[in-house]
Every structure is written in structure tokens, then in C-alpha cells.
Structure 1
Amino acid sequence: MPATDYQGSFLGRISIRRNQVMAMEGSHDQEVEDLELFQKHVGDRFNDLLASPTEDGNEPLLSIAWLRRLVDMFLCCEAEFKAVLLMGRDPCQISKPPLDRLVPEFLERVVKSLDICNAVSLGIESVRNFQKLAEIAVSALEHRPIGDGQIRRAKKALNSLITAMTVEDKDPSNTKSAERSWSFGRRSAAPNKERASGQFRSLSWSMAKGWSAAKQIHAMSSNLTAPRGAEASGLAMPVFIMSNAFVFVMWALVAAIPCQERNGLATHFPVPRQLPWAQPMIGLHEKIAEDWKKKEKKGSPGLLFEMQRLEKLGQSLIEFADSFQFPAEAERLQELKEQVEELADICGKMEEDLAPLQQQIREVFHRIVRSRTEILDVFEQAGKLSSSTV
């Protein structure tokens, strides 16, 4: 069943069940079944992502198309998580231990993810610039007959492309303003209601000079401890699952898309392997982490599949340009034609998928802002109910 289909079925099931008057002895069994179904859906979605790079060559791991599937999967999981946590539930249930501690910690991760969403959106703008430079080279190298003028124009664009990717990957702040407007106010120790229209403003197109994507991911992954004992069969588990989904998705986006200060991006993922839903998540993490270690060792410009292809083709075409002599041999021209066609194909896919990916990132931003506000509302209701019973 497609993700959106069983998401709709799952949400409908919870809505109907919690609006029915049920016998108390049956409600606990239904609750456990809902939690198990949520875990299964998360595991199934990550399994699909783990399988797709090998089964479908059109969506390699960390390609733009694959990242779009990742974000779509995350949005489905987030909708189901919110239903499990909030839909038709007594507010007092999530204001008691251990949720009175776990939910505020989860909301802190939500806040940190907002900065990452904006950093990724900014990184996508950089990738668009790389695409434009590659398109200049394609335009020049497709010209027939090809001469010294076209070669010089293409070489200049390709040199700019390789330099831009290297500079952007090492320190994007070198090419952008260091000023920014924060998307949220300072958090107090206890969860307080903050309206999306006020405290949560979309960031300006720049990040603070000292902001670090690697440190932000590290902060999100700290204090992640799996529930034990009776807590493992209650609402603490979906909070733990969704916290890990947040960390993984944001980590994968940062690894793929140029973001400010990625050096030292953590490659350890503290999820117990025995949890069924965790296996595909860990499998994906290990694949990406291995590539990241190679990337840091070689100093190549990031893990986005299309960027890696641009780098490889760009360097090869620069070598061709350096050794070009007019008239070129037929064999060399055929080799050039094949590489230019591949470069044009990559540019076409980037043109098609970058804007939708950026729109999905914005949707994630606004979705989690709304969800955070709704959870804070429930905390506020629980506080009022507690006060009225005293």
C-alpha cells in the first residue's frame, strides 16, 4: 500500500476510534495496537528508502529525487505521530511523567530543526547556482563546429563551478552575508505557548557567522535514550521514534546539501539495533556515514549525487579543454559529446527537482511550527485542568 494510502487509513482509524464511546477494558488494547502500527509504518517507510537506491537506478541514494522521497516520508510520519500523541486524547496524559520531560525535549529538537530547514533552503540556492554554471558549459560545448572560443567559455564556467562548490562546501558564509534574523525566541525551561505568527518567522537568506550545522545536529541527537520497561509500550516510544526520525532526516539533508560548517558532522547514530523500526534507519545511516567519511578525507564537495556528478564531469571536461587542439579528433569529439549529454541530463533533473525539494523543505518548516504550537496548546490546557482541580 502506498505511503499516503496507509497514512490516511491510519489517521482515519484513530479519528474514528477516539470519537467512539468504548469500554474502558478495550481502550488499552486499541492504544497498544495503534502504537505498534505507527512503529510498523515508520519501519516500512525507511525500508522503502533503503531499498530504492538499489532497485531503481533513477533515484540513487542522496539524489535530489531520493531526498524528495525522504522528506515526503518524514511528513507522513510526522502527521501520524501527531495523531498518536494528540488526537482525541486527554491533555493530562502528556503532562505526566515521563512525557512531561520527553515532550519538552522533543520540542527543543523541533526548534533546532527549523534552523536546519532554513540552512538547507539556502544550500539549495547554492546548488541552483552550480546548475547555472554547468548549463553555461553545456551551451558552449554543444556548439558545432566547436572552436577555441567555445572551449574557453566552457572552461571558465567549469573552473568557476569547481571553485564555487569547494568554497561553498567548506564555508558558505564566505559568499553570503553573516547577518540573520532568528526564527524563534529564546526558550524558557518549561514549555510556553508561542504563536507561529509571532515567534516563528521565516529566516532571512543568510545564517549567523558562528552557526554550525554539525553542532546543531549534535545538539539534536543528545539525550536520546530509548524507553525501557513499561515506558516502552506507552507514548514515550513514539516520542523517541519521532525524535530519531527528526535527527536522521535533518542529518541526511545536511550531509547532502551544502550547509554552513559541516566539518565534524557526527557519524554515530545512537539507536538500539534490536528495535524493529530502527534496522532500516540504521542501514541508511551507515551507508551515508561511510560516504561522509570518504568525503571528509578527500575534501570533495558534499554528498548530493548530482553535485558529485557535476564535480567529476566538470574536472574531466576541464582536462579536455586544457588539451584541446583544433580541429579535434573524431574520437575525442565523441567522448566530449557523451560527457556533455550526461552533464545536460543532470542539469535537466536539477531544473525539474530542485524547486519542488525546496518547497517541501518549506512545508516541513511550517508543518512543524504548527505541530509545536498544537502541542504547546495541549500543555496549556493540561495546566488549566490541573489548576481547576486543586
Structure 2
Amino acid sequence: MDGNHEQELEDLELFQKYVADRFSDLLSSSSDEAADSLLSVSWLRKLVDVFLCCEAEFKAVLIMGRDPSQVSKPPLDRLVPEFLDRVVKALDVCNAVSHSVESVRHYQKLAEIAVSAFEQRSIGDGQVRRAKKALNSLMLTLEEKEGSNHKSAERAWSFGRRGATNKDRAAPGQFRSLSWNMAKGWSAAKQIQAMSANLVAPRGAKSSGLASPVYIMSTVMLFVMWALVAAIPCQERNGLSTHFPVPRQLGWAQSMVALQEKIAEEWKKKKEKTRLAGLLEETQRLERLGQSLIEFADSFHFPAEAERLEEMASQVAELADTCKKMEEGLVPLQQQIREV
């Protein structure tokens, strides 16, 4: 028994260190100067990868080399079913996020239309009108998505639409959303709140046993789902809190708490300035550049001043670069979420 307990302590210490190191890497890569700034598509891909890696380590700690009867004994007889309930709720969140990535890809397509129009060699009234129409559609879509309440009564299914024809299926090299809208009344905010219910850090002797990795992995899962919902415009986010309780004194949680605070700060800024759909960095750029280019289009007169054209060209180049990053990252992110 003493040997088993020592092994448990060693496993727990290694798991805590692993989680701490992975989230520390995430925190260091979230600075403004980093290549993968906070809540960008590339950063979210790192976040989902961290989740998958932590989950693999968690399963090794909880299952490998252990007597299965331990799961039927206190405290795991209660904690494991609670954990599995969170897993099911996380599956729903992943379905909603995966579906909502399609909306973000739609934003990208509208922005690309504007880029194509503005990049014409000789820009005139026709090209400006075409770009403005696409950008106005983008702004309207962003506002509608933020305030939308999907009324589809269909349920999201994870593994494809039944009865899909060959025409419906994705072509090689492409990826199509296989999710429908979530059920009427489904709420991403309520799902996150339900996942955090009964999530309490183990105390006393339980803190050095198998209850601890279950709590750690539950917290990791909750944070990842919360961050995805904050970034991607999911159904019914009203009431999604900017924080959920993570004990600061726990060493493995410190980087996670710091990330949570940074995301909460972004949330606060967003509420003060805009009704933007989600905190995804690329979407925020689309909104900022789109509004500026609409102002350019409203005041456009042919022939335009060279200085105005130069300013417009710089913004169009940034918009094109943002679209390229979305093109490169959104489909792989969607595939990773499906893997989760």
C-alpha cells in the first residue's frame, strides 16, 4: 500500500508539472509581440493541442497499471461520473464551436471579396461600390451573429448528416461542417456554467490521491471550452462569465489564471468598444479594417488623392494578410475540435 501511494504521489507531481509547463508555454506565446497572439486562430490551435496532450497524460495517470475496482470506491465513484458528465457537455460545446467556425469562414469570404475589389489595378466607382457592399454585409453579419438566437430545432450530430450524397461530402483537401445548429434553447453560456457546477478542489488527504488529477483535468477542460466560446461566436453566450473559480495558490493553475485574466480584460475592452461577434483576434481585425475601409468608400471620389489611395492600400494589405491567416488556420482548427 505504501509503495502504491508513493507511486500515486509521483504520478500526481509529474502530471501537475506537465499541465503547468504546457500552460506556461501558452501564456508566453500569448503576448502582443509573439507570433501566436492571444485568441488568434494559431493560438487557439495551440490551446486545443494542449488540451489533447493533457488529456492523454491524464488517462495514463488515472488508468494505466491501476486496478479498475478503484473507480468504484470513494471518492472516484462520485468524481468519475461527474467528470464524464462534463465530458458530454464539452462535446456539445465542441459541436457548437465547430459549427460556428463556419460563420467565421463566411466573414473571411466577405472580406476577401472586398480585398479583390480594392486590389484592382485601376480603382473606380464600380470597384469601390463592390467592396463597400461586401464590407457592409460583413458588418451586418457580425452584429447579427452576436445578437442571434438560433431557432433551428435540429440537434447537432457529431458524425455527419444522415443520408448525405456524394455531392454533399467534402472534396479532397477541403473540410465541410457536418454539424447542424444546436437545439432550440441551447445555450453555450449555460453549458459552461453547468460544467463548473460541483467543481471543487480536493482537500486534505484527497488532494494527494487520484481525486486531484480528476479535478485538474476537469479544470483544464472547462478553461479550454470557456476560451473557445469566448473567441468563437457560439449560440447564446449571454451570461457567459468572464471568470470561473480556479484556486490561485495551486502551482499548476497559475498560468491558467493569468490567461483567464488576460481574456477577461479583452472581454471588457470589447464590451466598451464594439458588439463584435467573439474575441477572435482575426475577426476583430476584420471589423476594425472593415469600418475604416467603409469610411474610405463613403468619401471616395474619382480620381482619388494619392495619399488616400496609399492609406487604403496599406489597410487592404493588412486585411488580405488577415484573410490568409484565417484561410490557413480555420480548417485545421475545426479538424482539431472534431478530434476533441
Aligned to 1:314: 290
* CA RMSD in angstroms, aligned pairs only: 1.7
Q: Is the 8 A contact 1:52 1:59 kept in 2?
A: yes
Paired AA for residue 13 in structure 2: E
Structure 2 alignment gaps of length 5 or more: 160-176
CA deviation digits over 1:312-344, x for unaligned, max 9? 000000000000010001100100110000000
Query: By how many angstroms is 1:289 displaced?
Result: 1.4
Q: Contact 2:22/2:50 (CA < 8 Å) preserved in 1?
A: yes
Inter-partner Cα distance in structure 2 for 1:308 and 1:178: 30
Shift of 1:56: 4.8
**Does 1:208 pair with 2:173?**
no
* Letter of the structure 2 residue corresponding to residue 246 of structure 1: M
Q: Distance in 2 between matches of 1:238 and 1:247?
A: 14
For the Cα contact (< 8 Å) 1:118–1:203, is it kept in 2?
no
Return the match for 1:70 from 34, 47, 50: 47
Aligned to 2:194: 219
1:336 aligns with 2:336: no
Report the structure number with the largest CA radius of gyration. Answer: 1
Distance in 2 of aligned mates of 1:143 and 1:178: 44
The yes-or-no answer on 1:59 pairing with 2:36 is yes
Per-residue displacement from partner, 1:17-37 (whole Å, max 9, x unpaired)?
xxxxxxx64333222111100
User: 2:328 — aligned with what?
Assistant: 352
Residues 55 and 182 of structure 1: is their aligned pair in 2 closer, same or farther, counting only changes over 3 Å?
closer
For residues 324 and 342 of structure 1, the distance between their equivalents in structure 2, rounded to whole angstroms, comes to 20
Q: Identity percentage over the alignment?
A: 73
Q: Which amino acid aligns with 2:66?
A: R
Letter in 2 for 1:301: A
2:227 alignment partner, one of 241, 245, 252:
252
Assess if the C-alpha contact under 8 Å between 1:64 and 1:350 holds in 2.
Answer: yes
Q: Distance in 1 between matches of 2:186 and 2:239?
A: 14
The separation in 1 between residues aligned to 2:194 and 2:92, in whole angstroms, is: 12
1:35 corresponds in structure 2 to: 12
**Are 2:270 and 2:276, in contact at CA under 8 Å, matched by a contact in 1?**
yes
Q: Distance in 2 between matches of 1:320 and 1:164?
A: 20
Q: For 1:28 and 1:301, how far apart are their aligned partners in 2?
A: 49
Amino acid at match of 2:271: E
Which has the larger displacement, 269-278 or 302-311?
Answer: 269-278
Deviations along 1:197-234, one digit per CA (max 9) or x if unpaired, are xxxxx974211121100000000011111100000000
**Over residues 76-110 of structure 1, what are the superposed CA-to-partner deviations in whole Å (9 max), with x where a residue is unaligned?**
00000011111121011121111111111111100
Alignment of 1:1-390 (within 5 A): 25-54=2-31, 56-171=33-148, 173=150, 177-181=152-156, 204-297=179-272, 298-364=274-340
Q: Using a 3 Å threshold, how does the CA distance of structure 1 residues 354 and 182 change in structure 2: closer, same or farther?
A: closer
Deviation of 1:170 (Å) = 1.7
Aligned equivalents of 2:271 and 2:55: distance in 1? Answer: 32
1:54 counterpart SS class: coil
Q: From the superposition, tell whether residues 256 and 160 of structure 1 become closer, same or farther in structure 2 (CA, over 3 Å).
A: same
- The answer to whether the 8 Å contact 2:95/2:157 transfers is no
Q: Which residue of 2 aligns with 1:11?
A: none
Structure 2 counterpart SS, 1:261:
coil
**Secondary structure, counterpart of 1:277 in structure 2:** helix
Aligned residues: 322
Q: Which runs of 5+ in 1 are unaligned?
A: 1-23, 185-201, 365-390
Seen in structure 2, the aligned counterparts of structure 1 residues 337 and 112 have a Cα distance that, compared at 3 Å, is same
User: 1:242 and 1:133, CA in 2 relative to 1: closer, same or farther beyond 3 A?
Assistant: same
Q: Deviations over 1:282-307 (max 9, x none)?
A: 11011111222333344222200000
Letter in 2 for 1:136: I
CA distance 1:62–1:181, change in 2 (3 Å): closer
Letter in 2 for 1:279: Q
Q: In structure 2, how many angstroms separate the alpha carbons of the residues matched to 1:275 and 1:127? A: 36
1:111 counterpart letter in structure 2: V
CA distance in 2, matches of 1:317, 1:57: 27
Question: What is the deviation of 1:267?
Answer: 1.8
Contact kept? 1:269, 1:282, Cα under 8 Å = no
Q: What's the counterpart of residue 163 of structure 2?
A: none
Q: TM-score, normalised by structure 2?
A: 0.91
